[in-house]
Structure 1
Amino acid sequence: MSRYKVDLNGNDVERFEQLSYHQTMELLKLYQQNQDPQIKEKLVLSNLKLVLSLVQKYQQRVSNLDDLFQVGVIGLIKAIDHFDTSLEVRFSTYAVPLILGEMKRYLRESSPMRIPRSLRDIAYKALVMNEDYLKKHHREASFQELSRLLKIDEYTLVEALSSTHNVSSLSQEVQNDGNGPIDLESQIPDHHNAMDDMQRSIDLQKAMHHLDQKELRIIKERYFEGFTQSEIAKDLMISQAQVSRIEKQALSHLKKYMTR
């Protein structure tokens, strides 16, 4: 794959027909009704430019963009299969997090770096504590409540929980309060709900509108594009400490607007 072009079976991705919002919604409704593979193929082909635009964000960090593109297409297919047309939401709003999630999982699985055990242990404790809180109070605990109960700062909590998103580390072992190692996957109840995921994504998108330009850029690059604080600092020509401070401030603002 070149910098700005992808060939799929000899066809330039840029040349595939782009569907309007209404055309896309109509095809998604038809596909949900009859599961016609030809309709699904048309939806995939018409949204390949979306995948390509997300792949290009990693062109300075990944040597084989072709593989990353194929992984992104898997995320696109999942979005088509699970999108709820009854909600007034653009398909791209729902699809982008799924595509990025598949890409980030691939990059993490391909990377020799491992998530620190300390973060995995914090994530496990937070998930268990949140389940207990839900049973007692009939709602999930906020980040502020969890950080207070665990006696850790909110930034560390967010980083720990983020480390469990769409990565193979869920099958890795964590400490179980002295009772021997266990894996996260066997302990986390499967309450996955595509509609809930989409609603959280919509709430996050709305909250991000309240960030200033620099906060928004840092949050997007850190949590949507996978850049490190050092890489962002170099790009913005500021110190890593400044990036860390702005990131914490932005996360605080997002929490404020999402818990109103």
Structure 2
Amino acid sequence: MALWLRWRMLDNDQVLRLVQLAQQGDLTAKGLLVEENAPLIKSVIKRFRNKGIEYEDLYQIGCMGFLKAMKNFNPDFKVKFSTYVVPMVIGEVKRFMRDDGAIKVSRALKTLNLKINKFIEQYYKDKNTSPTIEEIALHFEVDSQDVILAMDSAKMPISLSTPIEDDSESITLVDRIESEEDENAKMIDNLALSEIIKKMDERDKKIILLRYYFDKTQSEIAKELNISQVQVSRLENKILENMRNKLTS
């Protein structure tokens, strides 16, 4: 039976065991993980094709991100290993692009971002909620990763790690929940917070979306909810405290 077929039959506990062995220095486990995740790495890096980097170089960079994911993964993150791997590979490629300084956002991504921005605004007006990445991708008939890249390209406040303005300080939603985190921990918080937000009641979700996704001030939110700015401030602090508790529980 092919290695790939055997891999596909592994359950989550078996995958975690392989990762644990690899972290302990087992070269066989490490080699198997790299080999069998090659299709995942290739799927991620293909989004960066035609950006001025040779495919083989892209693959090597992606593998570096994968190895970092394998080294740093912890079951306590409470996400699947593959879920952890994808943003780590993307992050490694984007770091290379940023540090190398030779890659610029394509015109196509910028154009797509403008369309996405208009779609999100109209969607929110119509349904009083924000569309998911999958819904946006379906609307424009593109891949979800293309949506993420397009939104990141314009520094839209859609990412939980994108800076927003709060008085004189530049903060992010993750910054409000946790401070002084390393890059890997912040990425995991992004994933966990996304799940927490999905399960909020509509009022709390609306406050968080307006505040951190649409960059609204507390006063603007107060007008929309027909309450005082003080009430919004208290609600926001309470919501963030609840999120912090869930994140650390």
What's the TM-score, normalizing by structure 1? Answer: 0.44
Q: Which has the higher helix share?
A: 2
Higher relative contact order (Cα pairs below 8 Å, separated by 6+ residues)? 1
- Normalising by structure 2, we get a TM-score of 0.45
